Amino acid sequence: MSTSKVDVALARADERTGLANMMQLYIHDFGELWSREPPGELGDDGRYADYPLDDYWRQKDRIPLLLRLDGRLIGFALVNTHSHSGLTVDRSMAEFFVARAHRRGGAGTIAAREIFSRYPGQWEAAVTRRNTGALPFWRHAIQGHPRVDDIEERDYNTPDWNGPIIRFRIKPA
Ligand SMILES: CC(C)(COP(=O)(O)OP(=O)(O)OC[C@H]1O[C@@H](n2cnc3c(N)ncnc32)[C@H](O)[C@@H]1OP(=O)(O)O)[C@@H](O)C(=O)NCCC(=O)NCCS
């Protein structure tokens, strides 16, 4: 990782297919956590239902990002302004994915911190209860950000969210 370069770039509309394809892998990972609920079930075509991505190229407050390692696609992030806690947010990490071959090498941390830096303000990262690997990941990525403030982690069990939500503020550079 020390000589490798992690890059975060806005996904252009003509890069949407790449993001949608990775979303299939992401849903497959989550299938383990969502067992027997519709998003985790394959259709007759062997694909999961398409994730609603259109607004990411239509609405200014929705941000589609591609993650690359040494120029190769390794993941994606979707940022929006949906608050799972009901409290005010500027940004929310809606979805975040690193391909399996590149996990536990630090790429996710570098990418997440770069995204936080680009969009200062009040953030929220909601972690579904059964995603036990993601919680230590987000704690690590958030706590180690050089401009983070007011980190707060609370457990929610509401109709809108079941699991921990980490709220934090990224100060402008
Ligand atoms: C969660 C995810 C993004 C982590 O990406 P990554 O590039 O592997 O993360 P990093 O290598 O930067 O991990 C940094 C630290 O986070 C923690 N961490 C990361 N993944 C972890 C896991 N599965 N279990 C426990 N701790 C984990 C560790 O402390 C790790 O440091 P270490 O490897 O030195 O022990 C990746 O596993 C993924 O895409 N998972 C599927 C999708 C997902 O769950 N997304 C998050 C939605 S909330």
Asked whether residue 36 carries a pLDDT value surpassing 90, the answer given is no
CA nearest ligand 1 atom 44, residue: 134
As a whole number of angstroms, the distance between CA 168 and CA 45 comes to: 41
Query: Does residue 34 have a pLDDT over 80?
Result: no
Q: How far is CA 11 from CA 20, 59, 158, in A?
A: 11, 13, 33
pLDDT greater at residue 122 or residue 3: 122
For ligand 1, say whether the CB of 96 is within 6 Å of any of its atoms: yes
Q: Is 16 in the pocket of ligand 1 (CB under 6 A)?
A: no
Lowest mean pLDDT among 69-78, 102-111, 157-166: 157-166
pLDDT per position as a tens digit, 40-69: 789 999 999 999 999 999 999 999 999 999
**CATH number 3.30.565.10 given to 6-170:** no
- The residue whose CA has the least distance to atom 17 of ligand 1 is 137
26 CA: nearest ligand 1 atom:
42
- Which H or E run contains 117? helix 107-118
Q: Stretch 85-92: mean pLDDT, rounded? A: 97
| CB-ligand 1 contact for 131 (6 Å cutoff) | yes
Q: From atom 1 of ligand 1, which residue's Cα is the shortest distance away?
A: 134
Structure-token match 């992401």, residue found: 26
Which stretches does DSSP call E strand in the chain?
A: 6-10, 63-69, 72-80, 91-98, 121-126, 148-157, 162-170
Q: Closest Cα to atom 24, ligand 1: which residue?
A: 133
Query: What distance in angstroms lies between residue 111's CA and the mean position of ligand 1's atoms?
Result: 12
The domain ranges of the chain are: 6-170
